[in-house]
Amino acid sequence: MKILIIEDEDSVASRLKNQIAKLKPEAEILEVIDSIADAVKWFDQNHLPDLIFMDIQLSDGLSFSIFEKVNISCPIIFTTAYDEYAVKAFEVNSIDYLLKPIYEDKLAVSFKKYNSLQKSWAQNDFQSQFSSFLDTMKINTAGYKTRFLINKADSLIVVPVNEIAWFVAEHKETLLITKNNQQHIITNSLEKIEKQLDPKEFYRINRQYIVSIHSIAKINNYFNYKLKLHLDPPTKDNIILDRKKVGDFKRWLNG
C-alpha cells in the first residue's frame, strides 16, 4: 500500500506518519509534500499512490486547486482543522476526513472505510465521485450570508457583511459591531453565525468573539505562546488567542 501525505505542518505530518506505521506497518509513505506547487510537480512525475492524505489549507492556498491542474483518480482522506461545511460535503460524497488533531482511533476507522471502498470503487468511478464532491463544495460556499437584517426599535436596518468588524457574545446577547463602531443586537448565537459566514473572511477567535480579517489592526505575541489581537474598532476586552489555535489562525491569515 503506497501512501502520499500532503501536509504543511511538520508536527502533524510526523504524527500521521507514526500513526500509519503503527496501524499499517506494511504501508509505504512515498513522500510528504507541503505545498500545492510541489504536489502538482509530484503528480506530473510519479504514478498515483493507493491513498492520499491531504490537508485542505496549505501554505500556498486551498488544496482543491491541485485538482484543477492534475487528474487524480485515487481515494483521498482529507485532514482539516478548518470549517464544518466541507466536512458535511465529504460525508455526502463518501470521501473520508480527519479533524485535527488526528487521533489514532479515528485514523483506524478511516482505514476501515478505505478497505471497504476499495472493494467496490473502481478508479474511474472515483473521479466521478470527486467531481460531484467539488460541485457540492461550490454549492455550499455560495451560500454564505451577504447581509444581516437588524430589528431596531420601530425600524429595520440592513448591515452588509463587508461592513462588519466583529461579533461578540456577552450578557446572553450577541452583538454585531460595524467598522464605523455601530452596535446592533442580533438574535442568532455565535455558533449559528459562524456557519453563515465565509471562513476566508471571518474567524472564531474564542467562545466570545468572531472577527473579520479586515478588523485586525495589530497582533502581538503573548505569554505561553498565545497571541493578543487588537481590533479596529477597539474592544473593551483583551482578545487572546489560545496557543492551540495559533497554527490554524496563521494559516487563515495567510489565505
3-state secondary structure the chain: CEEEEECCCHHHHHHHHHHHHHHCCCCEEEEEECCHHHHHHHHHHCCCCCEEEEECEECCEEHHHHHHCCCCCCCEEEEECCCHHHHHHHHHCCCCEEECCCCHHHHHHHHHHHHHHHHHCCHHHHHHHHHHHHHHHHHHHCCCCCEEEEEECCEEEEEEHHHEEEEEEECCEEEEEECCCCEEEECCCHHHHHHHCCCCCEEECCCCEEEEHHHEEEEEEEHHHEEEEEECCCCCCCEEECHHHHHHHHHHHCC
Nearest to 96 by CA among 75, 68, 65, 81: 75
What's the pLDDT score for residue 22? 96
What's the pLDDT score for residue 90? 55
What CATH number does domain 2-141 carry, 3.40.50.2300, 3.40.640.10, 3.40.190.10, 3.40.50.300? 3.40.50.2300
Task: Note the pTM of the prediction, 2 decimals.
Answer: 0.52
State how far the Cα of 15 lies from the Cα of 107, in Å rounded to an integer.
Answer: 11
What's the pLDDT score for residue 99? 79
* Beta strand pairing call for 2-6 and 28-33: parallel
pLDDT along the chain (255 residues), means of 10: 93 94 96 94 94 85 81 83 53 62 90 76 55 54 75 82 94 92 91 88 94 95 92 93 91 86
What's the pLDDT score for residue 135? 58
Class of domain 147-253: mainly beta
Domain locations along the chain: 2-141, 147-253
What nine digits make up the cell of 117? 471502498
- Contact criterion met (CB below 8 Å) for 249 and 228: no
